[in-house]
Amino acid sequence: MDNPCLYKWSDAVDYIYQTVHVDDGAGICSSREIADEFMQEFLQHVRKAVLFHEVKLYLGMDIERSEDGTMFRVSQARYIQEKFGDHKRIFRTPMAKTTNLRVAEPNINNDSLLPITGKLRYLADRTRPDILVATGEVSTGGAESPSDEHCEVAERVQHYLIHTIERALLLGGRGPIVLFGYCDAAYISVGKSKSRLGSCLFLNYDSGAISCVSKNDTTISHSSTEAEIKAIDMLCREIESVRSILKFLGQEQLEPTKIYVDNKSAMELCKTLKVRNSVKHINVRINYIRELINARVIELVFVPSKYNVADVLTKPLAEDDHNRHSQVLMEGHTNNEDGILMTIESYEYYINMIEAEEFLNNNTTEITPMIICDKN
């Protein structure tokens, strides 16, 4: 057992992998006969248990399996309809790009938003990571005397959910398990000046994200670079945990896990041995990241902000950017019309070629190409 909620059993032929959540469990096994044999033994130790061979509903999430068995569609459309079905206005993003709840003034005449944010959090943490930023911002300052702006955003998110009710997480895929992720930070210097940190992890290019985080920093950052380093640090700890679980499941990651970052200054600080007075207060974080780089646990890779999927987990975006990142976040890279995967790989290759040419020509001019590639 590698995780208190994850178990496995196997012999030379058969296997069982089991997860547990309070009094519910979900798992996979090599055959129905093995599942039935497991249940017979399990019933000797509990009062009552029911085995469902085909999982269609788990912890309030509707689960559909593709015909070839390689993909799972996980949604909460029924819950959204039940809780917010009377919200019919059309909003294509959960939060306007120009909205800043950090400077909103409390209004003692407004009721607490806790009943609403609890429902939104239930969705955001399971199948709708596209509302994580809006949910987090509404929750910050929405518990007591929320501002009029807080109430407006909370209402808007509910309309947005109904308008996008068919959205779902696509999990699975045919490709090998290769862990990689994105991280980003929104440096905030006004109002409550604690930056928002975001990260997401993918198991392959076909699947949506298996882990999404969007949270307010616990301390104020002195620069955007410091905020980015905190985001990298946060994702590194998640990666260590997931790599350990994958090893337990027989999918050990032998190569470094790539982390796509859009801040070159943060990358440089983590890769070099230079220690500056301006960052000495975060040296522990930098040394931790550098240690993982040297141990080949992670690899930092630059990606333009336009293609940093974690951008949607740190700030409200314009409609096109929000939809592009949300689609990759929930449906994976190969299901995205923009060809995000090919863009990242081509960008990496092109940047390496440019750097080599600059070195040979002793030319240090910074070049920032923009590459759009079709996924086919």
Q: What is the pLDDT of residues 248-258, one digit of tens each?
A: 999 999 999 99
Residues whose CB falls within 8 Å of the CB of residue 152, separated by 6 or more in sequence, listed in order: none
pLDDT value, residue 51: 83
Indicate whether 90 pLDDT > 90: yes
CB atoms within 10 A of CB 148: 13
Percent of the chain past pLDDT 70, that is, above it, reads 86
pLDDT value, residue 48: 85
- The residue-averaged pLDDT of 26-54 equals 88
* Separation between Cα atoms, residue 105 and residue 147, nearest integer Å: 5
pLDDT value, residue 69: 85
pLDDT value, residue 277: 62
Nearest to 195 by CA among 204, 184, 186, 205: 186
- The residue-averaged pLDDT of 299-327 equals 94
pLDDT value, residue 272: 79
- The residue-averaged pLDDT of 110-127 equals 96
Indicate whether 294 pLDDT > 80: yes
- The residue-averaged pLDDT of 321-326 equals 95
pLDDT value, residue 1: 52
Nearest to 196 by CA among 150, 284, 246, 134: 134
Strands of the sheet with 61-65, listed across from one edge: 57-58, 61-65, 71-75, 169-172
- Do 289 and 270 form a contact (C-beta atoms < 8 A)? yes
pLDDT value, residue 121: 96
pLDDT value, residue 273: 64
The pLDDT confidence band at residue 163, using thresholds 50, 70 and 90, is: very high
Indicate whether 196 pLDDT > 50: yes
* Separation between Cα atoms, residue 8 and residue 203, nearest integer Å: 20
pLDDT value, residue 336: 59
Question: Could you tell me the pTM of the whole model?
Answer: 0.86
- The residue-averaged pLDDT of 47-74 equals 89
Could you please report the per-residue DSSP string of 183-237? EEEE---SSS-PPEEEEEEESSSSS--SEEEEEE-SS--SSHHHHHHHHHHHHHH
Looking at every residue in the chain, the average pLDDT score rounds to 87
* Separation between Cα atoms, residue 261 and residue 82, nearest integer Å: 39
First to last CA, the chain: 41
Parallel, antiparallel, or unpaired for β 6-10 and 57-58? unpaired
- The residue-averaged pLDDT of 211-224 equals 92
- Do 213 and 234 form a contact (C-beta atoms < 8 A)? yes
pLDDT value, residue 361: 55
Lowest pLDDT segment from 125-129, 297-301, 308-312, 351-355 = 351-355
The pLDDT confidence band at residue 276, using thresholds 50, 70 and 90, is: low
The pLDDT confidence band at residue 54, using thresholds 50, 70 and 90, is: confident
CB atoms within 10 A of CB 21: 10
The pLDDT confidence band at residue 241, using thresholds 50, 70 and 90, is: very high
Mean pLDDT comparison of 10-14, 137-141, 235-239, highest-scoring range: 235-239
- Do 342 and 142 form a contact (C-beta atoms < 8 A)? no
Mean pLDDT comparison of 2-6, 57-61, 318-322, highest-scoring range: 318-322
The pLDDT confidence band at residue 342, using thresholds 50, 70 and 90, is: very low
Indicate whether 281 pLDDT > 90: no
CB atoms within 10 A of CB 345: 12
Lowest pLDDT segment from 75-84, 145-154, 365-374 = 365-374
- The residue-averaged pLDDT of 166-177 equals 92
Indicate whether 220 pLDDT > 70: yes
Q: What CA–CA distances, in Å, run from 17 to 31, 67, 182, 203, 248?
A: 12, 22, 28, 18, 11
